[in-house]
A and B are shown apart, each in its own frame.
Chain A
């Protein structure tokens, strides 16, 4: 069955960097578009970034553009989110999600979700 397992979340100080990982199993990662979504404590969900199946197309929400970088290593079945210049408002649970499609397109949605990893940015 499809499984997504995020890791790498921890407590960091403002301005520091962190890399999150999302290990995929039960399907061929190279066939699917993948997303990162986050949720601040007690708040709603926020879409952050997407990468196409082969990693050739990547898009970001304005809130993280220029600070976060999405990448993937299909040979390792792993999705990544490199987060730089972290701010207290980046605190939250970070989810990876598998899209229904292999390319970024209308009709894309978050078919499967991981359980999330917690990031806290605080001094």
Chain B
């Protein structure tokens, strides 16, 4: 069964830069998977950050950027802030009208 992999957890210092990745167990992530990224804080609905690999959703600061790095999709957060602490999820379009979420990355800022 195809799985989308993300780092279970990551830690970054305030002001630092972090790259969260999104891989595909059975191959490489490409722009055709149209990766999108979402942030979720406890008790809240997810919020869209990035879509179509690298396009920022409305209102998302340019500290957040998306890319393809090697065979994975990546979400880069620069100048990390305390309120960036959250769970981050990537989603890939798998074709045939189906999408697949990664397991999520719990980001700690300390």
Q: B-contacting residues of A (Cβ < 8 Å)?
A: 35, 37, 44-47, 50, 57-61, 95, 100, 104, 106-116
| B interface, over-half SS | strand
Q: A-contacting residues of B (Cβ < 8 Å)?
A: 32, 34, 36, 38, 40, 45-48, 51-52, 57, 87, 89, 91, 93, 95-104
Chain B residues near A95 (CB-CB < 8 A) = 45-46
Contact at A100–B51, with CB atoms within 8 Å?
yes
Chain A residues near B99 (CB-CB < 8 A) = 35, 47, 50, 108
Residue of A46, A50, A107, A111 near B34 (CB, 8 A) is A107
Bound-state Cα–Cα, A106 to B63, Å: 26
Contact at B102–A44, with CB atoms within 8 Å?
yes
Bound-state Cα–Cα, A57 to B96, Å: 11
Count of A-B contacts judged by CB separation below 8 Å: 69
Contact at B34–A44, with CB atoms within 8 Å?
no
Contact at A44–B47, with CB atoms within 8 Å?
no
30 contacts between A and B (CB under 8 A): A37-B101, A44-B89, A44-B101, A44-B103, A45-B46, A45-B89, A45-B91, A47-B99, A47-B100, A50-B98, A50-B99, A57-B97, A59-B98, A100-B51, A106-B32, A107-B34, A107-B52, A109-B48, A109-B51, A110-B36, A110-B38, A110-B46, A110-B48, A110-B91, A111-B57, A113-B45, A113-B46, A113-B48, A115-B45, A116-B45
Closest to A110 in B: B48
Chain A residues near B103 (CB-CB < 8 A) = 44
Residue of B32, B36, B96 with most chain A CB atoms under a 10 A cut-off? B36
> Apart from A37-B101, A44-B103, what are 10 other A-B pairs with CB-CB below 8 Å?
A45-B46, A50-B99, A60-B98, A61-B98, A106-B34, A107-B51, A107-B52, A108-B93, A111-B48, A113-B46
Closest to B33 in A: A106
Chain B residues near A100 (CB-CB < 8 A) = 51
Residue of A47, A60, A109, A114 near B52 (CB, 8 A) is A109
Contact at B45–A45, with CB atoms within 8 Å?
no
